[in-house]
Amino acid sequence: MTPAQHLKTAQKMLEGYNSKKATSKFSPLKIDIIRKHLSAIKQNDAEYKDVPKYLKIVNDLEVKLKKEGIKKRQTAAKIISKKLFDRGIICLATLSGQDDTTVTFHISGYDIDSAYHLSKDSNFTSTLYREGFKKAIIRDGSQLLCCYRRFSTEIKSSRW
């Protein structure tokens, strides 16, 4: 692609961006693609004069997406805890890790078999994945019952 084509593609992908509105049309993948198109334009190209302006927009979008993602995961953790409570499971969900992408469910009186069945519940795991969690941990007090990363389940217990 020529520098002009790279710039036109980046501009087209940024169409409709409004700094005061939600960023729902943009994903981290889309932002990466825009950034690659802009980085393909070299300083000695005529189109380079527009690159800093678009890079600022991309950087602003990244910051907004990160903040929205954190808030979305915090809300999701509360909703999941409430849904578990409605099923008779009393738990406390805490978030940790970079950008709150790890959720730990502290479930009193839970055993490893129950944790395994919960981890195999497709509604539970798909919700975690959709909300942007990268790791989920189920604990009973201090004992680790279940830990899954990127939603391939790995069961750990001192009993096995």
CB neighbourhood size of 48 (10 A): 14
Per-residue pLDDT in tens (0 to 9) along the chain, 160 residues:
999 999 999 999 988 776 666 566 788 788 899 999 999 999 999 999 999 999 999 998 888 888 888 999 999 999 989 988 898 888 889 999 888 889 998 888 888 888 888 878 778 888 888 888 888 888 887 677 777 665 544 444 433 3
How far apart, in whole angstroms, are the C-alpha atoms of residue 19 and residue 4?
25
Structural contact between residues 62 and 31, judged by C-beta atoms closer than 8 angstroms: yes
How far apart, in whole angstroms, are the C-alpha atoms of residue 150 and residue 160?
23
Q: What is the pTM of this model?
A: 0.67
CA 51 remoteness from chain centre: 28
- Dihedral sign of CA atoms 65, 132, 16, 53 in order: positive
Model confidence pLDDT, tens digit, residues 104-148: 988 888 888 888 888 787 788 888 888 888 888 888 876 777 776
Q: Token pair 């539970």 is at which residue?
A: 124
How far apart, in whole angstroms, are the C-alpha atoms of residue 61 and residue 72?
16
